Amino acid sequence: MTQTPTAMAQRMPTATTSRSPRNRVPYAALCETFVQIEATTKRLEITDILTKFFQRVISLSPSNLTQCIYLCINRIGPEYEGRELHVGDSILMKAVVEATGRNLQALKADVVEHGDLGTVAEQSRGKQRTLATPQPLTVPQVFDTLKTISEITGTSSQKRKIDLIRKMLVACRENEAKYIIRSLAGTLRIGLAEQTVLQSLARAFVLNDSETRKMSKDKLENELASATAIVKQVYTELPTYDQIVPALLEHGVHHLPEHCKLTPGIPLKPMLAHPTKSLTEVLDRFENMTFSCEYKYDGERAQIHRLEDGSVMIFSRNSENLSVKYPDIIARVPAISKPDVTSFVLDCEAVAWDREKKCILPFQVLSTRKKKDVTAEEVKIQVCVFVFDLLYFNGKPVTGEPLKTRRQLLEENFIEIEGGFHFSKSMESSNVEEIQTFLNEAIVGNCEGLMVKTLEKEASYEPSKRSRNWLKVKKDYLSGLGDSLDLVVIGGWYGRGKRTGTYGAYLLACYDEDREEYQSICKMGTGFDDESLAGHYKFLSEHTIEAPKNYYNISDNPNVRPDVWFDAVQVWEVKCADLSISPVHRAAMGLVAEDKGISLRFPRFIRIRDDKGPSDATSAAQVAEMYQSQNINPVHGNKSRDDDF
């Protein structure tokens, strides 16, 4: 049952107790907020519920605010620190068994029935009597324990994890066990997107400010909108609550940008480009604007940071630390800038490089390079870095400058190294034949196509946005083959004949951010060679789960029920002939057709996308957009197809 806000307020510490060191946000207050959020799908209501919760935390226990935020987004630190909460089902089940005294087989049967160990843990707790009532859980206590669990490694790690989880479970009341288990399993699934958390945070600070109480309704609305924009923008440049929350508490929203800026050492989510289908589309979009065409290199995005103390770090598109993978690039960084350059952040693509022939090698070669424990001497696959943007320079962010200025700074202050570090190849022209020739040259040079970017007007760097100021033109779009999708593999069918002993086909899903769920999009059995089939089998058979997670959205149609379910751990790039409305698949359900999803026709495997996490997979909204854009300019028919599994 949904708790009322009054019930929740009663659980929060009171203002009088707030000065005491024992004043911590009760975990129960956070869980009641989760219950209320889970009970609605309306974004405005969710924002309102969370804003009120944050307002109380800010007034009563401000030092717990960062931890509350992390628990809402189910993380234990900034994303770039790469600390994962993903405790396996078997450990969680053992902890529930130990905490409740239930039988493991009966528990497993309940999990298969409910599809959610969290709910089963909550119900199991209800049946359990305890002798002494433990102290109620607090937010810092739960957060610290989750963090400790994520850090446990080595011998007897399983037992230590189970002990800590059991202790928390024994102290749980009401619905707390459900959310602890879901947090540990890696997904809360209450329908709370991070953007809503940022919005609620901004609103809470505005509404807690006594000045705003005197404002007219319109003025207050403007104030709330501008605060939200500030907090969201700052977060794109400095994506860490560890710095943003203390700065908000100390200086308020309006002064936040002065205190929280892009900082070398903290990766930002890169700017992304919109796909286009023809060069004329590009020319239409950029009419009357200056723009530049660049080679679109086919490798791995690399954000190179040099800090004032001279240390260097490299991050992936996903904010993963790549420094251990690329010691050879790190070794070359001191030589790429002129002597008076002290600090910078560069946006680049690292591509495999043939030193003898002095040419770019295809992406497939780069993907065979070792990812960990690499020493510069051991490197077998050589890489060359192509730099295309400068985001921070000598102590200052330059993302707000137009690309023309950023590029000029790059060219004036950085030095190319033959076969090691180059400026991305670019040209300026609005002549379609010239651009076509440049595109052909890019493709001959093992590039994917072109990136076309505004130079002066609307030409700032927009972190984490798929912006229309950057357009990508890939050779495949032009030949009508369509863009690729990055999908999560969630199930497999055992192979027959030549494929016996491996999985012969797979069930794939896109990710719906708003609903926090993976939605099935196609069954795929094409594009594999024997080696990749064996590799997928080896990897995925270690990630099987007994039943589909309750955040997998799949129909009951037997054609889309695989023999084996997988945990959502790997992303694959997939190409298809086109997209069609599907009676059985659930991708983008409700976005294009009310009770139907979208599926891919003739999907085929292209490659594993190690640089993307499951929640970075193609989103439901992008699937809907791809479907709609092919309808504007149809290459194939788009009728609903019942044979489309």
Residues that bind ligand AMP (CB under 6 A): 270, 272-273, 294-297, 301, 317, 349, 388, 424, 451, 472
Nearer to ligand AMP, 234 or 451 (CB): 451
CA dist 506 and 499 (Å) reads 13
Angle at 114 between CA 11 and CA 589, to 5 degrees: 95
Instruction: Decide the pairing of beta strands 272-275 and 466-474.
Output: parallel
What number of other Cβ atoms are within 10 A of residue 420's Cβ? Answer: 18
Nearer to ligand AMP, 224 or 451 (CB): 451
Nearer to ligand AMP, 105 or 479 (CB): 479
CA atoms within 13 A on the CB side of 295: 22
Burial 357-388 (b: 16+ CB within 10 A, else e): eeebbebebbbebeeeebeeeebeebbbbbbb
For tokens 């032009």, name the residue: 478
CA dist 542 and 544 (Å) reads 6
CB of 473 to ligand AMP, least distance (A): 11
CB of 589 to ligand AMP, least distance (A): 24
Nearer to ligand AMP, 95 or 451 (CB): 451
Nearer to ligand AMP, 32 or 401 (CB): 401
Both tokens assigned to 598: 């979208």
**SS3 assignment, position 294:** strand
Both tokens assigned to 149: 């669990």
CA 196 to chain centre: 15
Phi, psi at residue 301, to the nearest 5°? -65, 140
CB of 230 to ligand AMP, least distance (A): 26
Nearer to ligand AMP, 298 or 644 (CB): 298
**Among 54, 243, 95, residue whose Cα is nearest residue 183:** 95
Phi, psi at residue 321, to the nearest 5°? -80, 115
Packing angle, helices 117-126 and 176-185, rounded to 10: 150
CB of 472 to ligand AMP, least distance (A): 5
CA dist 579 and 483 (Å) reads 11
CB of 574 to ligand AMP, least distance (A): 13
Closest residue to ligand AMP using C-beta atoms: 301
Query: What is the DSSP track for 416-457?
Result: -BTTTEEEPPEE----HHHHHHHHHHHHHTT--EEEEEESST
Angle at 554 between CA 552 and CA 560, to 5 degrees: 130
CA 64 to chain centre: 25
**SS3 assignment, position 230:** helix
CB of 486 to ligand AMP, least distance (A): 8
Contacts of 638 (CB under 8 A, 6+ apart): 578, 579, 580, 581, 627, 630, 631
> Would you name the residues annotated as active-site residues?
296
CB of 272 to ligand AMP, least distance (A): 5
Nearer to ligand AMP, 174 or 441 (CB): 441
Q: Where are the alpha helices (DSSP H) in 39-83?
A: 43-60, 65-72
Nearer to ligand AMP, 272 or 577 (CB): 272
CA dist 103 and 479 (Å) reads 59
CA 493 to chain centre: 28
For residue 241, with 0-12 CB atoms within 10 Å meaning exposed, 13-18 middle and 19 or more buried, which class applies?
buried
Nearer to ligand AMP, 297 or 565 (CB): 297
CB of 360 to ligand AMP, least distance (A): 11
Contact 508, 489 (CB under 8 A): yes
CB of 514 to ligand AMP, least distance (A): 21
Residue type at 416? E
